[in-house]
Structure 1
Amino acid sequence: MTTAMDQTNTIPVVDFARWNSDGPSRLRVARDIVDACQKVGFVYIINHSLPESLLDEAFHWSQLFFDLPQEEKLKAPHPEGWAIHRGYSWPGLEKVSGLEATSADDDQERAKGLREVPDIKESYDIGSENNPTQPNQWIPDESLPEFRSFMTHFYRECFHMGGEILQALAIGLNLDENHLLNKHSGLNNQLRLLHYPPVPASALEDNRAARCPAHTDWSSITMLFQDDCGGLEVEDVHRPGYFVPATPVKNAIVMNVGDLLQRWSNGLCAAWSTMLGCLLTDADRLRSTSHRVTLPPLADRFEGQERMTRRRFSIPYFLSPDSDSVIECIPSCRGEEPAKYEPITQAEYNRMRASMQY
């Protein structure tokens, strides 16, 4: 594993080409990924099994979709409310945050406050074609022929790659190779196409608008593919509240730990460890690190005299366990301390987070 320690990149890089090698090389990959997830919560994975041509095609289809007239995209709208997380979300519909739902009255008040600063982005969410509780919302084939066919294929290919990462994490945690993968049938994963349209830089600088505020992911792990625009930032685990750029690396997967894997591994996020005045130990296994999307680096930040931001495209793929899976501390991750979290199902945790977002 190598780590770039300059001011633009402090995220470890793991070469996944060794995963299909002999035992020692395979184990080294697993340990490097777990080490990165303990120390940073993020890792660049290079030389993985997803071909460059496939990723280029995914971004091509994503741009074609977002370039459609609004009335065409609205033929597959995100269903009202938070329960079904599929289809097209127009700018302002979604408000990302790190908050969890508590009581109904408090939720409404907090959600109202969050939306005073809108997120200027649009997205299209796709899941398994076999999940009856989360039906996909497809635009008509005549609106964008072959779009559905490609995206269902890409969804399956991403799940295969994500399954390999889950196996590596399990080995790195001294578990059976399929311990985590067995809890992820693929039914509950989510492929998201994201487009950040141009916006006046002053709106972001003055906090009148946002791209994607600081948050953690609700998944077990997230695989992110980004274009060359930049703007993704990751919280420095040693300095809570300070963010460092996750500089785009061509064809790399930016993989991060989600909240559910943090709970499974008894992890403690950096902000909590600071508040509690404790050091992170080996028992604090994997961390779900806060991240955000904001202005890109200075050299690429603006276009034109009106200081408009560049368009940005990214494609995250969220791997989540099946909805009835109970998320509770893996015994080998507990150490001498009690589990930090009460057991919870994926469905209940999803409700706590999603109800604040829509």
Structure 2
Amino acid sequence: MSEEITVDGSAEIANDNAPVQQIPIVDFSAWKIKGDLSSRMQVAREIADACRKVGFVYIVNHTIPDSLIDEAFQWSKQFFALSDEDKMTAPHPDGWAVHRGYSWPDREKVSHITTEKDEDQRAKIMEALEYKESYDMGSDKNSDQPNQWLPDEVLPGFRAFMTRFYWDCFSVTSDIMRAIAVGIGLEDEDHLLKKHSGHNNQLRLLHYPKVPLEALERQTVSRMPAHSDWSSITILFQDDCGGLEAEDPSQPGRYIPATPLKNAIVMNVGDLLQMWSNDYLRSTNHRVTIPPLSTSLKGSDRMTRERYSIPYFIAPDPTALIECLPACMSEENPPKHAPITQVDYNRMRASMLY
């Protein structure tokens, strides 16, 4: 047994050192019933509790139709099936300042490193081939992050669908942010959302091609190393391949499979929400590693399945100040992080990726 520190710093007795067996599942349907305050509060508490204990949660019965999720994956597969020449009509710009467009395998290096001081660890990450490709897009009104759209003739209808899907994702994440705000005790459910106009978010299509299993075992190739997200929250849609894992906060180094659950949202806390909540909510390290596959294959025939996923990162507006929320501090639990704007934090993290 251990003392559980609540949002305002008071203590309760709880068993927080027990290993996490699985990622919690929250039925979000009651949140949509505006008049049922008791049921909405229950949803808010369940989400906040999962964010505190694990940093990850499955959200089911959300507002994005299954058919829309299926269509998003169809468009993603069409995009990555294009020739390299066609994909490179919308390339990720050089450098780290703009995070849009197509990134080819090993273009991006993902890690949880947040400082240039750890050069040994940084060098090790750079050695392994990070074998994934991605395409990033955002709001067309974000002049700081200009989209790199494919020409319409390359994939007709792609831009129109992804623009719509981007805002559909913002709609559901807005409700999730409201639920989190209520769950951690903020009086105004829109308190966090007021700092998120939606124009600074990022929709990403990810494709992990087939790769020899031996290369992953030897760590000469990686899918996506352990890292935390530098957003407020992330929602993720994944196919049925598997391979995503979240670190068990009670046992660092032990990972819990985020087993695919058809059309569920996998939501996780990002670094900025952890800072806002004074570390009450957890921005948990996660990774994509060897997926479940047949053990009957031998030698060079042992290939991973290809994997598709679609994460959506919700970030505050660039000038938003990330400072401890009043509900998350007290005399016994003072702020743990110095205030920082989103743009300054983004600059620091993005410079480590490219």
Paired position in structure 1 for 2:3: none
Q: 1:112 offset after TM fit, Å?
A: 4.3
Matched, 1:87 2:104: no
1:308 equivalenced with 2:303 (yes/no):
yes
Output the amino acid matched with 1:76: A
1:101 shift after superposition: 3.3
Counterpart residue identity of residue 40, structure 1: V
In the TM superposition, residue 243 of structure 1 has moved relative to its aligned partner by 0.7
Compute the RMSD of aligned alpha carbons: 1.9
Partner of 2:78: 64
Q: Is residue 101–residue 355 contact of structure 1 (8 Å, CA) maintained in 2?
A: no
- The letter of the residue matching 1:117 is A
When the two structures are superposed, what TM-score results if normalisation uses the length of structure 2? 0.90
Matches within 5 A, 1:71-82: 71-82=85-96
Aligned residues: 332
* Aligned residue number for residue 162 of structure 2: 151
Kindly indicate whether residue 132 of structure 2 is the aligned counterpart of residue 121 of structure 1. Answer: yes
2:288 maps to 1:287: no
Of residues 20, 28, 39 in structure 1, which corresponds to 2:32? 20
The residue that corresponds to 2:348 in the other structure is 352
Q: Is the 8 A contact 2:212 2:300 kept in 1?
A: no
Between the aligned partners of 2:237 and 2:151, the Cα distance in structure 1 is 26
Q: Is the 8 A contact 1:231 1:245 kept in 2?
A: yes
Report the 3-state secondary structure (helix = DSSP H, G, I; strand = E; otherwise coil) of the residue aligned with 2:221: coil
The 3 A distance-change label for structure 1 pair 53 and 206 is same
Following superposition, the deviation at residue 308 of structure 1 comes to 1.0
Q: Which consecutive unaligned segments of at least 5 residues does structure 1 have?
A: 1-6, 268-284
Deviation readout 1:328-347 (Å, 9 max, x if unpaired): 11121013122111111111
- Alpha-carbon deviations, 1:285-336, whole Å to 9, x = none? 2000000000012448979961111000000000000011110111210131
- Alpha-carbon distance in structure 2 between the residues aligned to 1:111 and 1:184: 32
- 1:303 to 1:333, Cα distance in 2 relative to 1, 3 A: farther
Deviates most, 192-201 or 301-310: 301-310
Q: Secondary structure at the match of 1:100?
A: coil
What corresponds to 1:254 in structure 2?
266
Which stretch has the larger CA shift, 192-201 or 8-17?
Answer: 8-17
User: How far apart in 1 are the matches of 2:130 and 2:229?
Assistant: 17
Deviations 1:233-285 (A, max 9, x none): 01011110111110000010000000000000001xxxxxxxxxxxxxxxxx2
1:163 and 2:174 are equivalent in the alignment: yes
What is the distance in 1 between the residues matched to 2:310 and 2:215?
24
Secondary structure of the 2:310 match is strand
Closer, same or farther: CA 121–71 of 1 in aligned 2, 3 Å: same
The aligned amino acid for 1:10 is: Q
Aligned partners of 1:254 and 1:151: how far apart in 2?
A: 19
Seq. identity, %: 61
Contact 1:8 / 1:245 at 8 angstroms: preserved in 2?
A: no
Alignment of 1:164-203 (within 5 A): 164-175=175-186, 176-203=188-215
Whole-angstrom CA distance in 1 between matches of 2:295 and 2:270: 29
Q: Tell me the residue number matched to 2:15.
A: none
Provide the C-alpha distance between the structure 1 equivalents of 2:113 and 2:353, rounded to a whole number of angstroms.
Answer: 9
Aligned to 1:34: 48
Paired letter, 1:209: V
Distance in 2 (alpha carbons) for counterparts of 1:301 and 1:93: 33
Q: Measure, in 2, the Cα distance between the counterparts of 1:165 and 1:320.
A: 13
Superposed counterparts of 1:213-292, under 5 Å = 213-267=225-279, 285-292=280-287
Q: Structure 1 residues 142, 182: CA separation in 2 closer, same or farther (over 3 Å shift)?
A: same
Deviation (angstroms), 1:111: 4.5
Q: Distance in 2 between matches of 1:214 and 1:180?
A: 27
Deviations 1:198-252 (A, max 9, x none): 0000000001010000000000000000000000001011110111110000010
TM-score for both structures, normalised by structure 1: 0.89
